[in-house]
Amino acid sequence: MYYCLCNPGAMTTYVESINETQDSLIRGRKIDEDYEDLPYVYTYDEPDDHPLLNIMGNDTIEKIGLSGLLEECGEDHLWEFFETECIMSKKMYTVLRDCGVDNIQVLPLQFINKNTNEVRKDYIVFNILGLVSCTRKSESGTLPFGEDFYEFAGSLIDPKKTNGALIFRKEISRGGGIFIHEKVADALKEHNIKGINLIPTRKWQREP
Using CB atoms within 10 A of its CB, is residue 160 exposed (0-12), middle (13-18) or buried (19+)?
exposed
CA dist 197 and 44 (Å) reads 20
User: What pLDDT shows up at residue 183?
Assistant: 96
CA distances from 63 to 50, 59, 71, 122, 127 (A): 17, 6, 15, 35, 38
Rounded to whole angstroms, what are the CA distances from 180 to 13, 122, 176, 186? 24, 22, 13, 10
Residues with Cβ < 8 Å from 73, sequence gap 6 or more?
49, 50, 53
- Tens-place pLDDT, residues 47-75: 655 555 544 545 554 554 444 544 444 44
Sign of CA dihedral 108, 113, 117, 119: negative
- Cβ contact 90:106 at 8 Å: no
* Tens-place pLDDT, residues 75-85: 467 899 999 99
Mean pLDDT, consecutive 10-residue stretches, the chain (208 aa), reads: 85 86 88 93 78 51 48 65 96 98 97 94 96 68 49 63 91 72 96 91 52
* 195 within 8 A of 147, measured Cβ to Cβ: no
pLDDT at 137: 57
Strand ranges in 10-102 using DSSP code E only, listed in sequence order:
14-19, 40-45, 81-82, 87-89
Q: What pTM did the predictor assign?
A: 0.79
On whether the CB atoms of residues 113 and 197 are closer than 8 A, the answer is no
